[in-house]
Amino acid sequence: MGLIEDLRAEHVVIERTLGALRTYVEARLGGRGDPADAGAFLAFFRLWAGRYHHAREEDTLFPVLLAHLPIRPDSGPVRSLVDQHAAMARTLEEMAPLLAGSGGQGARLLDLSTRYRRDLLAHIDAENSVLLPEAEARLRGAGVPALTGRAADAEESVARDGADRLVALYPPSEDPGAIRGEGCVICPSYGISCEGLEREWWSEEEWDDFRERAG
């Protein structure tokens, strides 16, 4: 599989593990669940979702998009998605001591874990519905060969395998309050640091075509 297909498949794994994290936090708040499993959740989100998945987007896919497509480096989709990675990593680190702790700050843990999950789900929806299909079609159109990302290292692979155990132990639960969807409107950066598909991704030729058809 090429990088873009890999990233799509990885989103499924991340989403499933976010559902397991929701079940785990609920269990912990109810005095159940093994406190020792916090480490495996943190390893998965830090190493596999962060250092592996997000880093390959930043190190492999995004530089190629900036090099071959009319995408601005200082704002727009790439800058926005990088900023979202950083913001989510900060939320994860705020949550980490509470997830691994012995309790006492349940409301704060619930708040941070909910924010982390919803931010990451909206990020994945924006990537699945805009970034990845646009990148795939436009890079092919620009004659760029299929991308390959680096393989996971030993630590990242262990963190990934740990997620299967967590999902079996803490069956993923749906978040009825999460707003899911497709397109730019789902992206928290839309209208703030990114102006959306047509303004950020379309070439001059596409705009000329559009204006011509619109008369």
Comparing CB distances to Fe ion, the nearer of 57 and 200 is 57
Rounded distance between C-alpha atoms, residue 143 and residue 80, angstroms: 25
Residue 134 binds to Fe ion (criterion: CB under 5 A): no
Q: What separation in angstroms does the CA of 160 have from each of 4, 9, 207?
A: 19, 13, 43
Stretch that binds Fe ion, among 68-76, 100-108, 127-135, 193-201 (CB under 5 A): 127-135
Residues between 32 and 71 that touch Fe ion (CB under 5 A): 57
Q: Which residue has the tokens 């924006």?
A: 126
Q: Are 61 and 147 in contact (CB under 8 A)?
A: yes
Taking Cα atoms as reference points, which of 43, 23, 41 lies closest to residue 33?
A: 23
Comparing CB distances to Fe ion, the nearer of 80 and 113 is 80
Shortest CB 54 distance to Fe ion, Å: 5
Comparing CB distances to Fe ion, the nearer of 7 and 98 is 7
Comparing CB distances to Fe ion, the nearer of 78 and 109 is 78
Among 37, 125, 127, 200, binds Fe ion (CB under 5 A): 127
Give per-residue burial for 40-71: e unless 16+ CB within 10 Å, then b.
bbbbbbbbbbbbbbbbbbeeebbebbeeebeb
Shortest CB 49 distance to Fe ion, Å: 8
Q: What residues line the site for Fe ion (CB under 5 A)?
A: 57, 127
